[in-house]
A and B are shown apart, each in its own frame.
Chain A
Amino acid sequence: LIHPLAFNGTLVGLALLAGVAALDAMAAFQFMISRPLVLGWAAGWLGGDTALGLTLGCILELLWINVLQVGAFVPPDLQFATLFTVGGTLLLHSRAALGEYPDPEAVAVFLLALSIPLGFLGGLAEQRLRRLNIGLSHWVDRRVEARKPGAIGWSLAASMTVLFLKGACLVLVSLMTVLPLAGFVLAHAPAPLVHGLSWAYWLTLLLGMLVVADLFWNRRFLLPCAASFGAAWLLTQGAGLPWRLVLGLALAVGVLMARSRFLLRPEV
């Protein structure tokens, strides 16, 4: 087992990032720096491997592209899941020099599987905080009645502080407790099993892209989508100039058809 404090500074950085992300997710700004794409890159930078962090962030972004805290809906804690997966992969990967751990792709998939149930716990904590805010709202009522409206600002500050601490503590505690155990399991798992896990890495990216297809699904737009796929596929295969011209034209015709024939006509 790795000593929980062996991860030191990176761990603190990840915890602070988690606190900021917990605020950005809904409470403040909502600039979307709490999305997996941005968090993955930032965690990668903290962990010393932006390329791996960014790739993992992209996979998680696509997988959860349609999941967001909106109104009363509280989804699993995506910020936590992202930082646990990306941060954990980088922290364990940094130990690979010792020959203890398999490739990062298998580690990432394994940690992502662990992060999902933990993310549900994060979602429950968020719900609990929102219930606590009801009490805060009643306290503000009483203070305003007593002609002390400064309580409004203080209540916002208190709520955001608790939210920041929730995000930071969840990541810190999980990485210090669950990660060493996960590392132990991975180091002692049968090699074929770990190899199988690494196949799931690319399939998860594919699943993420199909989640987007499902989100934007519209039968009227399948033709331009297919034209775009064909054009890009042939271009990546190094097709000659005539093919590129034909495909460019096909793409333009597909988009024009979508515009004139499908977009202007209401769906029956």
Chain B
Amino acid sequence: MGFWRQTDGSPVSGGRLLQVGLRSFFLQAAWNFERMQNIGWAWCMMPLLKRLYLDPARRTQAIKRHLEFFNTHPYLAGPILGYAIRVEEKVAAGQGASPAEVTALKMGMMGTLAALGDNFFWATLRPLAALLGVGFALFTGGAPSALGVALFLVAFNGPHLATRFLGLFQGYRKGPEIVAFLRRVNVQRLVLWMQLAGLVLLGALLAAFLEFARFDPGKPSRLGPLEYAAAGAALLFLLRRKVSAVRLFFVILAACAAAGLLRG
């Protein structure tokens, strides 16, 4: 309770950190090619900078410091925000930290966390959650189910929100130790497990697809399993050779239109 309503005179409390966390949802709102997330970052820091620096001149210097270049994974900005707030607190109180340290920690952490977040959230968790959602939406029998949409959103946003807010609070609490803590998380191993889960799920979905989309005289848009198998093998071969999905879609379109015209 004490943390939420700070009583030791520090303006940093749980409530204020929560406010920063909520503002981090807009970190990329004015993303630009020059300084990228700078405006969003400065906006996240504003509630605390206002209270840490009561002297307008020092406050302006602090805000300008946070309007410099910044770019990281939006969900993993939390640990950097938390750590930066901790250092800013020391700078404002004159407890030995220098303003250059704030910039240095931002620059030092943003690249590593961006790579980590891109690998885990964008390249693995989101596709896996989407695959799960599609599987539930299309292949659970009967009409397509909106449960798949709900499952996708929950499976993705659970880890997203936990990372965003826990990262912020832990970043503030642990300070420099947050870097060592993040190093200990074996994301690569987790990604491998998720890839395995994705491929096992995909195997089951491909089998369900053959049943779902099989030829039916009443539904002339459907093909036979052998035709799907041949097309699938050819498409996978081309995808593995880096032919883009969009290009392959147009190839499918042209081939199907030509086949339709030839069959008359």
Contact = CB atoms under 8 A, between A and B. Distances in A.
Interface of A: 26-33, 35, 37-38, 41, 50-51, 54-55, 57-58, 61-66, 68, 70-72, 103, 105-106, 109, 112-113, 116, 130-131, 133-134, 136-137, 140-141, 144-145, 147, 149, 152-153, 155-156, 159-160, 190, 192-218, 221-222, 224-233, 235-237, 251, 255, 258, 263
Contacts of B38: 137
A231 B201 CA distance: 11
B22 to A, nearest CB: 10
Chain B at the A interface: SS class: helix
Interface of B: 25-26, 28-36, 38-40, 42-43, 46, 56, 59-60, 63-64, 67, 71, 74-75, 114, 118, 122-123, 126-127, 130-131, 133-134, 137-138, 143-146, 148-149, 152-153, 156-157, 160, 189, 192-193, 195-196, 198-211, 213, 220-223, 228, 231-232, 235-236, 239-240, 245-246, 248-250, 252-253, 256-261, 263-264
Contacts of A205: 209, 213
A41 B30 CA distance: 29
Contacts of A230: 203, 207
Contacts of B263: 192, 195-196
Given A214-B236, A227-B200, 15 more contacts: A35-B130, A133-B31, A133-B32, A144-B64, A156-B29, A156-B39, A159-B30, A196-B258, A199-B256, A215-B127, A217-B240, A221-B196, A221-B199, A232-B205, A251-B200
Given A65-B130, A136-B32, A144-B63, A149 B46 contact: yes
B110 to A, nearest CB: 11
A229 B206 contact: yes
B156 A32 contact: yes
Contacts of A227: 200, 203
